[in-house]
Structure 1
């Protein structure tokens, strides 16, 4: 049997490189801003608006994702991708040259829209530029492209901030954004297709509503911790209503019930993202608080997780003797094992060193699950639905990640006010994340195409 060419064969080389550069660029920007923010806030005297730099990105990222799906299906990925890169570049320039915090937040919002548009277009390129047997490896590129920024991003952005100034963390990415667009142009010339009706502004508006709901829920959680009960009730109620109303329009029907096929895949992606990012957000803090780790040692598990993610992403692209739904189940089991181990580390007297092994297992699980959900969506989407379904997949991911990290932050806040012991709070978080992944693994068969499910039966 003749071996099929890989994703870096001559006919796909530029496309694969362009995808890798694009995703690495977006991932680096997300990591770099955390390093640059303290210096930016001090210079711009915007401490009171610190959180808005993150909220603006989250909300407008959802708007970009909401707009991109049907746009990609209607005209192909060319215009959404180039528009996304252009808006992202403008956002870099605005943030990098900002003279006050309002302009900085505006730049962050533009970056969010750009990433939303471009990342959905990248999924559309995978669906149209590669044959079906290469899509798992092409999606592995997307997952693996997050690893390099995780390895070098904080160090590189910290060095740039210290020696050249925080503005160059943003301005220095502009040439890379333009180079990325150039690398993807050959694939864009052959992938345009018109097959879906115009979507208008409906989905972006509902995405804005959902994003506003996430921010309101975050603010409501902070109000709970601060003891401002009437404000908390108002914000939580409004946020929940806005989020539900937005997601009902943005996600396919049946997603909340794990209806077989694409709705179940999209729901599973959100559940695993929410669980993973909630726990990941408190790993360094847990090690420093409970086990006395220094800053560098407390951050190293995230590096170990990135390596595990890369290994998992590469492995899923080469495993052919297992169905995608079965592969997804094993990835979820790996995540559940990681999280129950993290909960055990919060017990009194438990050592901290196993976190390095546990987080490799967690990263491995995510490396398997994330591209596998992408493959399942592309396999089960009609030609004119790949953009909309890819958009919904990422909306589920981004929304759940925001809610998960907010929930983790709420638990940390509760421990700060003395309402809960820190070890107990973090242990509860690990057990909840484990339960979510274990329950989701039991329902993983619902992500399979109907023909695959029938064959298994």
Structure 2
């Protein structure tokens, strides 16, 4: 039975659900933006500078498990059960991160928190697909993107102030009341969407097993490459790839490996888009704080500018998609994103003033707002009814794996550069080269699979 309503005006319960989803995504956004600002200080305080990339990746890769579990659970049972379990774990992770006294404890807390936090993307976008008809989805996606707006204004300033003048532990304590509020808002609204498990749906245990292999293999990969090169690489790197490859393809749309026209190509584009953007953004705090000597508060302003323009551009894309082709929207967004990533790399030149990053990353938000909103709307339009959770899972796992690999590979590049005596700026420059390669991959998918496509039907 479909929950989609053709009424252009949302009912009061639907508006409450919308508000709850926006708050839940805002909470996830706040945590992600705060950790980006706080992690250089946390790593220095806990003596884990070499684990910078692994720490970033641990949260994201742990989220892979919950993303897959959430998608399978939503398709079989509805969203309530996975929501309760996920948000309970998210709260536990916040508490453990607050109490961490060394890097290993902190990484363990981030794994638990990532497992819980990973459900927010899946639940929010799957519910959008379940409740709303096609013509209303782009606007709701824009509203979900707007859930980054308030955190983008508050998180860098609050996080920077806490790190610079208080104690970083309070970054996590401050989030706990909002977890409770989100739970109170969403629990009664998600309960009516529960359903009897469909007999033909993917088995939940099998889905979780695949997710564990993907996350475990990717985690092994980023951990191994962060270590000095030795003979263990010859054994563990192929093992990590073998662990990931088959289960990853199982949860991706058919034809993903070749970026088949349609849903598979859209999810593939999602992967490379996120790698390109986050390979740059995740390591920007290192450039500004460690390389340029700026404070956490000043660094946070770049994230603020990007998040605000991302939200504004997502609403612009909701208007744009009714007037131009899918190809044009994707190509325009990717051009803007690529130019901005290149401009941000100029910070590695000491003679370039640090304030250049603010307009550069604000424009990057415009590119991502157009590109990401277009990709997500396209995946929804290509999805058959009853498979909303599977598509949301594919989107979530592609994006999470891309961010996790961007963090892990970038951290490994910096570690190996330090071990080889290569300058910090040169190592970070290679991280940006990887981001540029991902941008080229995006253009390849757009040109080969979306050229001539108007809009999905």
Output the TM-score relative to the length of structure 1.
Answer: 0.83
Taking the aligned partners of 1:436 and 1:42, their CA distance within structure 2 comes to 30
Q: Secondary structure at the match of 2:286?
A: helix
Structure of higher RCO (CA pairs closer than 8 Å, 6+ residues apart): 2
- Whole-angstrom CA distance in 2 between matches of 1:88 and 1:188: 18
Aligned position for 2:333:
331
Q: Distance in 2 between matches of 1:38 and 1:451?
A: 43
Select between 268-277 and 24-33 the one with higher mean Cα deviation: 24-33
Which among 179, 199, 203 is matched to residue 199 of structure 1? Answer: 203
2:346–2:352 contact (8 Å) kept in structure 1: yes
Contact 2:310/2:369, CA 8 A, preserved across alignment:
yes
**In structure 2, how many angstroms separate the alpha carbons of the residues matched to 1:256 and 1:278?**
22
| Count of aligned pairs | 447
- State the distance in 2 between where 1:101 and 1:409 align: 15
Give the C-alpha shift of residue 278 in structure 1.
0.7
Q: CA deviation at 1:336?
A: 1.6
- State the match for 2:235 in structure 1: 234
Structure 2 residue 256 is the aligned partner of structure 1 residue 255:
yes
Deviation at 1:411, TM superposition (A): 2.9
Distance 2:104 2:296 in 1: 32
**Following the alignment from structure 1 to structure 2, what is the Cα–Cα distance between the partners of residues 184 and 262?**
29
Write the distance in 2 (CA, Å) between the matches of 1:101 and 1:347.
31
- Runs of 5+ unmatched residues, structure 2: 1-6
Quick one: distance in 2 between partners of 1:200 and 1:433? 35
8 Å Cα contact 2:334-2:443 kept in structure 1: yes
Could you tell me whether the CA contact under 8 Å between 2:162 and 2:171 is conserved in 1? yes
* Equivalent residue in structure 2 for 1:76, among 66, 75, 78: 78
Contact 1:376–1:447 under 8 Å retained in 2: no
Aligned to 1:122: 124
Q: Which region of structure 1 is more displaced relative to structure 2, 341-350 or 249-258?
A: 341-350
Q: 1:429 to 1:360 in 2, by over 3 A?
A: same
Kindly indicate whether the alpha-carbon contact (under 8 Å) linking 1:330 and 1:441 is maintained by their aligned counterparts in 2.
Answer: no
Q: From the superposition, tell whether residues 159 and 443 of structure 1 become closer, same or farther in structure 2 (CA, over 3 Å).
A: closer
Is the CA contact (8 Å cut-off) linking 2:333 and 2:371 kept in structure 1?
yes
CA displacement 1:337-376 (0-9 Å, x = unmatched)? 2233344565685555433222122111111222222211
TM-score by length of 2: 0.83
Could you tell me how far 1:261 is from its partner in structure 2?
1.0
What is the aligned partner in structure 1 of residue 392 from structure 2?
390
Verify the 8 A CA contact 2:33 2:303 in the aligned structure 1: no
Q: Distance in 2 between matches of 1:418 and 1:39?
A: 24
| Deviates further, 409-418 or 376-385 | 409-418
| Residues 362 and 49 (structure 1), Cα distance of their counterparts in 2 relative to 1, 3 Å cut | closer
The alignment's C-alpha RMSD in Å is 3.7
Q: 2: distance between equivalents of 1:300 and 1:39? A: 17
Alpha-carbon spacing, 1:169–1:6, altered in 2? closer, same or farther (3 Å): farther
Deviation at 1:48, TM superposition (A): 10
Matched with 1:372 is 374
1:308-457 aligned within 5 A: 308-319=309-320, 320-343=322-345, 346=348, 352-418=354-420, 420-444=422-446, 452=454
Superposition map of 1:28-67 within 5 A: 28-33=30-35, 54=56, 56-67=58-69
Question: Could you say if the C-alpha distance between residues 187 and 130 of structure 1 is closer, same or farther in structure 2, counting changes exceeding 3 Å?
Answer: farther
